[in-house]
Amino acid sequence: MAIICTTASPAEKEQEPKQSFENDQTPPIVFNPSLLNLQSQIPNQFIWPDEEKPSIDIPVLNVPFIDLSSQDSTLEASRLIAEACTKHGFFLVVNHGVSESLISDAHRLMGSFFDMPLAGKQRAQRKLGESSGYASSFTGRFSTKLPWKETLSFRFSNENNGSRTVQDYFSCTLGQEFEQFGNVYQEYCEAMSSLSLKIMELLGLSLGVNRDYFRGFFEENDSIMRLNHYPPCQTPDLTLGTGPHCDPSSLTILHQDHVNGLQVFVDNQWRSIPPNPKAFVVNIGDTFMALSNGIFKSCLHRAVVNRESARKSMTFFLCPKRDKVVKPPSEILDKIPRRYPDFTWPMFLEFTQKHYRADENTLDSFSNWVITNKNLI
C-alpha cells in the first residue's frame, strides 16, 4: 500500500514505541508455538504487565443484533446502531446474505495455511512498515508485550469494481498452488465490501446523514483482510492474543470460529462477545470515529487465549480509497465543532505502522501529530 507521509524526523522518532526494533541489535524472537509450547514457561517477551493480564469469568456484552434481511426494519436498525455506536461501537449483523459455504471455505483454507510449517508461511513474510504479509506475533516490530498469535494480511481494492488484488497477491507471493486461496478470499473480500456498504447506509441514517453519503465515500474502498490464528498457550493467564487497542481503520467485520476470545472494554470493565456462526461482529474504527466527528466511538478491545483450543478468526478492515480526505459531512459539522484535522488513510496507516503502537489514544495522538507536522505532510 502506498504511503504519502514523509519519514519521521529525529524528534518524531523519540515518540515511537520503545518496543520498536529499529535501533535494537537483539534479533527478534521467532514465534513458533509448536516449539514454544514444549517449554514450561512462555518467554518473558510474551508476558504482559499485571494490570493488563486477562480477566477470568467476565460478563457478556449486550450488543444489538441487526437484521439486514428486511427493509421494513431499517429505521429500527439505524436506531439500534446509533445507540450501540455512541456507547461502545460494537454490534452483530445477521441475515447478512453472505454464503455459509463461502464462510466455511474461508475458515477451512485459513486452517490449512496456519497448519503449514513455519518456513512455508514465511514465504509471505511481512516486511517492517508494511501492512500485507505473514506476521508471527509482530516480533519484528516489538520486543515486549508480544501477542500470542500469527496473522496473514493482504490488501483488497474495490476500485473500478473489477480489481483482482487478492488473487494476484496469493499467486505472486505464494505461487500458483495457492490459486484456490486467491479465488476464495477474493470472493470473500468482495462479499465483505458489499456488506460494508450496506452497513454504511445504516450508519449514515443513524447519524442523520443521507444514506448514500458514506456508501459513496467507501464505494472504491482500499481495504485490508486479515486471518488470525491464536494457538493454545500453556500459561494463558500471563499473555494476550491481541493487546488492548482501537482499530485505526473505518469499520471492522469479524467472523469468529467456535472458540471464545473477543473482549471489549465498556464501563471500566472487560466484557466478552461470544462466537456466533450466523453473525458477523461489526465495530467502528478510529477513521470512522473521525468521520462522525467523535459521535460514534471506536472502543478498546482485545483477544485472549486459552490452554486447550486454538482460536481462529477472519477480519475485514474497511478503509477509504487512498486519496479520499477524511472529514465529517457538513450535516454533522453544522451541529458540532470540528474535533479532528483532515487526513487520508495512508497517512494514518503509516502512523500506526511506523510511529505508534495502536491503543485507546491512537486517534488523538495521530491528530496531534498531524497538527504538529502539518508543514511536513
Residues with a catalytic annotation lie at 311
- The amino acid present at 305, given as its one-letter code, is V
Burial classification of residue 267, based on how many CB atoms lie within 10 Å of its CB (0-12 exposed, 13-18 middle, 19 or more buried): exposed
The residue length of the chain stands at 377
Spatial separation of the C-alpha atoms in residues 21 and 31, rounded to whole Å: 16
Spatial separation of the C-alpha atoms in residues 256 and 56, rounded to whole Å: 20
Task: Identify whether the C-beta of residue 199 lies closer than 8 Å to the C-beta of residue 284.
Answer: no
Spatial separation of the C-alpha atoms in residues 223 and 279, rounded to whole Å: 21
User: What would you report as the CA-atom Rg of the chain, rounded to the nearest whole angstrom?
Assistant: 20
CA distances from 295 to 68, 79, 85, 262, 290 (A): 23, 14, 8, 24, 9
Three-point CA angle 133, 137, 140, nearest 5°:
70
Q: Which phi and psi angles does 224 have, rounded to 5°?
A: -130, 130
Burial classification of residue 75, based on how many CB atoms lie within 10 Å of its CB (0-12 exposed, 13-18 middle, 19 or more buried): exposed
Alpha carbons within 13 angstroms on the beta-carbon side of residue 32 total 13
Task: Identify whether the C-beta of residue 240 lies closer than 8 Å to the C-beta of residue 48.
Answer: yes
Packing angle of the helix pair 179-206, 165-174 (nearest 10 deg): 140
Spatial separation of the C-alpha atoms in residues 221 and 318, rounded to whole Å: 7
